[in-house]
Chain A
Amino acid sequence: MSWIYLAWRNLGLKKLQTTLSLILLAFGVGMVSLLMLSEKQLSDTFDRNIQDIDLVLGAKGSPLQLILANVYHVDAPTGNIRLVDAQKVIRHPYIEEGIPLAYGDNYRGFRIVGSTAAYLDHYNAALQAGRRIEAPFEVVIGRKVAETTGLKVGDTFFSAHGLQDETDVHTDKTFTVVGMLAESQSVIDQLLHCTIETIWAVHDGHGETVDESDREITAVLLKKRNPLAVLTIPNVIRDSNMQVALPAIEINRLTQNFGIGLNTLRSIALIIMLISFASIFISVYDNLIARKYELALLRTMGSGPSGVFLLLLLEGGLLSFGGAALGLVLSRVGLLVLAELVQDKFRYDWSSIGLLPNEWAIFGVAIFVGLIAAAIPGISALKIDISRTLSEK
């Protein structure tokens, strides 16, 4: 026998009321925590991939599309740009480094991206097996690609034209997997890497020689040397078909647009939480009225007023603890479901489910408010007139 046991049994006596309070609080806490988790995952994913990319150079079009296509590889590219034009920008004194990207083919839905060694270095890619690319048509595959397609070092495959479907297969050009990357939790996990020359070779006609000045690439990831680059580069490329976009700004804009929806959800979650606290309050208060005799009885048997107060507090505490814990579990389940959906669409892996500091805060606040909701009826329990209560009825 203990106060906790007694509180537990008392809650068990009112199963429906207890269940309702638990469900309400679990949903409130669950929604708030799910929002926090997905926001965190989203911004982590965005940040990890932006890293030190200050500017992206590509064909004119939607700047957001340019970023999504070339930094995250989730959108179609805006078009091609001429290598000679791009090189003018890369060699600009305000630019420290430019990583050219060329792509247009896929293998089973994963993009085959031609670039330089700097691209993999940029994301600190480490080889898990095999070696780096040394010649055209050699490919190093990302972790996600290896897991999904089952490609191994030494395997060969054909690429398909386009970024999604596999109808138009280039059966004349054979790619060979020479290396496999360790997991990096960034976009390179979902790509097949080769040289730019490989991409060109796939698309060149047989025996045809292409003038070097007509060579095209898709985009260039730029790292600035001087902050003025952001202002200067747009002027440099004004008369071309190119544009530059700032990943940080575009992603900011994107999340702000998301934000309106998130705020609405957040308000709904908070309202559900408030209702659940009201439910706990009503539940404990209701119990207080129904069990006034029991509380008076406890007093006649030797419990001080503090014992009775503690009992009510424990009932509220158990409810809010249970509800909040259930909510955190619920949000994890929700995130896993969401991750499945997102992974199919965007091929991003959301799997870390540790407790965020903010969630600890929500957990603490939920229990605290639950205790307060129980303490209010608890205070009136302190004032019970034992003699009068027991002689009523």
Chain B
Amino acid sequence: MCGLLHPQQGEVEVQGQKISALNGPALDRFRGEQFGIVFQQSHFIQSLSVMENLAIPHFLLGGKFPTSKAKELLGNLGIAHKAHAKPRALSVGEQQRASIARALIHQPSIVLADEPTSALDDASTAAVIGLLEDQCAEAGAALIVVTHDQRLKTRYSNRVELNPGTPQAS
């Protein structure tokens, strides 16, 4: 959906832009602007601190990095004290929260979360998904969660379940 893979058939349209028609740098840029992505496993630029990692979207897309907003975001996510630590020094849960902060920092219109809770225990799952929902609501971004985690399914009214057959809306 965010243009990492090209559709074999049909079209993908996001915010009125047919992204299946975009290519290369334009697609990278569109994706960067419109989407915040939380991956199943958190990836960071290992040589940079958490704070510097948060600054990357603004650097890549242009625009001034809102330092105070980044601090606030990290504070809301409970990892303000790790702002200047290297990503490697964070626990899995903290890394996941840091990647949520990074997905939101540039105010994307859509946040994509790919199995955000698969590596987490019940308590952390509740905390992370809660934060994800709160932060998206605050930023006014749509949240799309891809998961096979039973713990999450009941939380959402809009679900697309992919079965080996055809997708069914429920």
User: How would residues 286 to 328 of chain A score, 1 for a CB under 8 Å from any chain B CB and 0 otherwise?
Assistant: 0000010110111111111111000000000000000000000
**How many positions in chain A have a CB within 8 Å of any CB in the partner chain?**
26
Looking at the complex, which one of A1, A291, A299 makes contact with B46 (CB distance below 8 Å)? A291
Least CB distance from B67 to A in Å reads: 12
User: Residue A305 contacts which of B4, B25, B57 (CB distance < 8 angstroms)?
Assistant: B25
For chain B, the count of residues having a C-beta within 8 Å of the partner chain is: 30
Residue in contact with B4 in the complex, picked from A291, A298, A303, A387, CB distance below 8 Å: A387
Q: Which residues of B contact A6 (CB under 8 A)?
A: 45, 47-48
A304 near B47 with CB under 8 A, answer no
Decide if A9 is an interface residue (CB 8 Å cutoff): yes
| Cross-interface CB contact of A303 among B33, B41, B55, B60, cutoff 8 Å | B60
Please tell me if the beta carbons of A9 and B32 are within 8 angstroms of each other in the complex.
no
Tell me if A345 counts as interface (CB < 8 A to partner B).
no
Do B4 and A300 have beta carbons less than 8 Å apart? yes
Is the CB–CB distance between A301 and B39 below 8 Å? no
By the criterion CB–CB under 8 Å, are B32 and A297 in contact? no
User: How many A-B residue pairs lie within 8 Å, measured between CB atoms?
Assistant: 73
Closest Cβ neighbor of A13 among chain B residues: B47
| Chain A residues in 8 Å Cβ range of B37 | 300
Within 8 A of A (CB), among B47-100: 47-48, 52, 55-61, 65
Q: Are A393 and B41 in contact (CB under 8 A)?
A: yes
With both beta carbons as reference points, the residue of chain A lying nearest to B26 in the complex is identified as A304
Contact A300 B32 (CB under 8 A): yes
In angstroms, Cα B31 to Cα A224, docked, is 82
Given known A-B contacts A1-B65, A10-B47, A294-B46, A301 and B5 have beta carbons under 8 A apart: no
Q: Does A390 make an interface contact (CB < 8 A)?
A: yes
A387-B28 contact in complex given A1-B65, A13-B47, C-beta closer than 8 Å: no
Assess the A298–B31 pair: CB atoms within 8 A: no
Q: Taking the nearest CB of chain B, how far is it from the CB of A300, in angstroms?
A: 6
Query: A337-372: which have CB < 8 Å to B?
Result: none
A386 with B47: CB separation less than 8 A? no
Q: Give the distance in Å from the alpha carbon of A133 to the alpha carbon of B61 in the complex.
A: 80
- B10-50 CB contacts (< 8 Å) to partner A: 24-25, 28-29, 31-33, 35, 37, 39, 41, 43-48
| Cβ of A304 to closest chain B Cβ, rounded Å | 3
A sample of 7 more A-B contacts (CB under 8 A), given A10-B45, A294-B45, is A10-B47, A299-B28, A300-B32, A302-B29, A303-B28, A390-B4, A390-B43
Interface residues of B (CB under 8 A from A): 2, 4-5, 24-25, 28-29, 31-33, 35, 37, 39, 41, 43-48, 52, 55-61, 65, 102
Chain A residues proximal to chain B, CB less than 8 Å: 1-2, 6, 9-10, 12-13, 291, 293-294, 296-307, 386-387, 390, 393
A-B contact pairs, 25 of them (CB 8 A): A2-B59, A6-B45, A9-B48, A9-B52, A13-B47, A293-B43, A294-B46, A296-B43, A297-B44, A297-B45, A299-B28, A300-B4, A300-B28, A300-B31, A301-B32, A301-B56, A301-B57, A301-B60, A302-B32, A302-B61, A304-B29, A305-B24, A390-B4, A390-B43, A393-B41
